[in-house]
Amino acid sequence: MSESVQKTIRTNLDQGTACLDEGKYDDAITYFTKVINLDPQSVLAYMKRGDSYLFKQECNSAIADYTKAIEINPNDAAAYCARGDALAENGSLGRAFDDYNKVIALDPHDATPYLHRGQVYLENGDTDLAIADFDKAVVLDPNSASAYGHQGFACQVKGELRDAIACYTKAITLDPEVAATYYNRGFVYVIQGKFDRAIADFDTAIALNPDIPAFYLHRGAAYEKKGNTERAIAEYRKLLERYPSNRLAKAKLKELGVTA
């Protein structure tokens, strides 16, 4: 392969990756396809094009690309894991679990497949199996904020609220920049009636990511449950200022006898 062809491949990979990161999935697919045409053995191009298809929810195309990557490199754990995610998204749970199990067989010390398999278990109502996988992920990677976050959410779903709080708190200690973790912990605090703690967590979640309507909605609900109707109304109105068509905020204001 000539140097000029290699340079073209690198350029298309870089441009495709930039488009993928920006959510321009059709453009990304075009660039990665150019790479594949020049280098049909490029596992990276098949993987990234598969990711682009998966973000577009074109699961069959994603599965085909991940499968091609596996054919080129049968020991590529990331390809099996990605195909497992696509299969699960496509409803082929048995085949998805086969792929996750293959990743575990290739690298028993990798926490990633346990996180992915556990998430599929959780989404399909198998909470105990999910917790078991998240527990294993924590053992394999005790510094993974994601593992503790997943563990916390599974405990929350099961109603084990104290354990959920402990897991979320550990996740925040390991990575204090993830807005969703504060939001999830705040949600549990609301259930426990600890409204001031919940509001503080929603405050942090909004500071980290001010573009999620649910953060404002649940902060308003926490104020409402606390008995501070004035602040609750202010929150719902603030949400409507940012998202004028938000039906939940309108419904909350209507319940409180206030016009939007």
Whether 259 has a pLDDT exceeding 80, the answer reads no
The full set of domains in the chain, from first to last, is 188-260 (1.25.40.10)
The token duo for 78 is 């990331």
Q: Please name the residue that has the structure tokens 């989404």.
A: 123
Residues 6+ away with beta carbon under 8 Å from 227: none
Beta-carbon count within 10 A of 191 CB: 12
Q: Are 217 and 237 in contact (CB under 8 A)?
A: no
Tell me the torsion sign for CA atoms 212, 214, 216, 218: negative
Where does the pLDDT of residue 133 fall: very low under 50, low under 70, confident under 90, or very high at 90 and above? very high
* pLDDT, tens only, 134-150: 999 999 999 999 999 99
Relative orientation angle of helices 195-208 and 213-226, to the nearest 10 degrees: 160
Q: Among residues of the chain, what percentage have pLDDT more than 90? A: 91
Averaged pLDDT, 159-176? 97
The token duo for 48 is 């990234």
pTM of the model: 0.81
